[in-house]
């Protein structure tokens, strides 16, 4: 009689499990609906409004074009008076004047490219391939290897935006 009890238990378990027919008659419940979006904060962009893309860069987030001026360091003179004007079509005009050496500034024009990081520009050969870090209302001349000036001299590598503001 003992062998009959396990066999009977297995038969009852199998009979209680529904096959494919029962699954079709009683489908699983649908997933819960997503909770409604919370109300937008005052001043927030409306749904579908244009917003800065994820990963926005200086190139896409700032008004970087305009005129920048300052006096850059010079190894054997008091400084290099510099005016760099960036245009929206990726052209530039660079005026440099070595103080105590030149009576008038030297002017070159050319094109610049945005580096892959989206925050650095590089002037073409006419501008000696100089690289600048573009920031809010300022350009910082980078070293030839592309690194950012540090230490007490770092502040002297900055050109400040003078127009448009």
Q: Parse the chain into domains and list their residue ranges.
A: 58-163
Half-sphere exposure of 106 (CA within 13 A, CB side): 10
Nearest to 107, CA basis, from 123, 124, 84? 84
- Buried b / exposed e across 6-32, counting CB within 10 Å, b at 16+? eeeeeeeeeeeeeeeeeeeeeeeeeee
Distance CA 162, CA 157 (A): 16
Distance CA 97, CA 99 (A): 6
Which is it for strands 66-72 and 158-163: parallel, antiparallel or unpaired? antiparallel
What pLDDT digit, counting tens, does each position of 21-54 carry? Answer: 444 555 555 555 555 545 544 444 444 433 334 4
Over range 47-66, report the average pLDDT. 61
Q: Tokens 């530039």 appear where? A: 92
pLDDT value of residue 28: 56
CB atoms within 10 A of CB 58: 17
The answer on pLDDT for 138 being more than 70 is yes
Report which of residues 7 and 129 the model is more confident about.
129
May I ask the CATH architecture of the domain 58-163? Beta Barrel (2.40)
What pLDDT digit, counting tens, does each position of 91-134 carry? Answer: 999 999 999 999 999 999 999 999 999 999 999 999 999 999 99
Distance CA 133, CA 84 (A): 13
DSSP bridge pairs for 27 = none
């Amino acid at each position: 009689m003992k062998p009959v009890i396990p066999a009977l238990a297995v038969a009852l378990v199998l009979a209680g499990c529904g096959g494919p027919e029962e699954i079709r008659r009683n489908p699983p419940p649908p997933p819960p609906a997503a909770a409604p979006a919370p109300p937008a904060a005052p001043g927030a962009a409306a749904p579908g409004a244009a917003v800065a893309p994820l990963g926005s860069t200086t190139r896409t987030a700032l008004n970087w074009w305009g005129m920048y001026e300052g006096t850059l360091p010079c190894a054997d003179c008091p400084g290099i008076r510099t005016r760099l004007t960036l245009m929206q079509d990726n052209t530039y005009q660079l005026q440099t004047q070595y103080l105590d050496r030149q009576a008038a500034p030297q002017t070159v024009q050319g094109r610049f490219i945005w580096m892959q990081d989206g925050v650095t520009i590089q002037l073409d050969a006419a501008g000696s391939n100089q690289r600048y870090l573009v920031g809010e209302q300022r350009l910082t001349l980078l070293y030839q290897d592309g690194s950012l000036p540090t230490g007490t001299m770092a502040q002297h590598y900055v050109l400040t935006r003078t127009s448009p503001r």
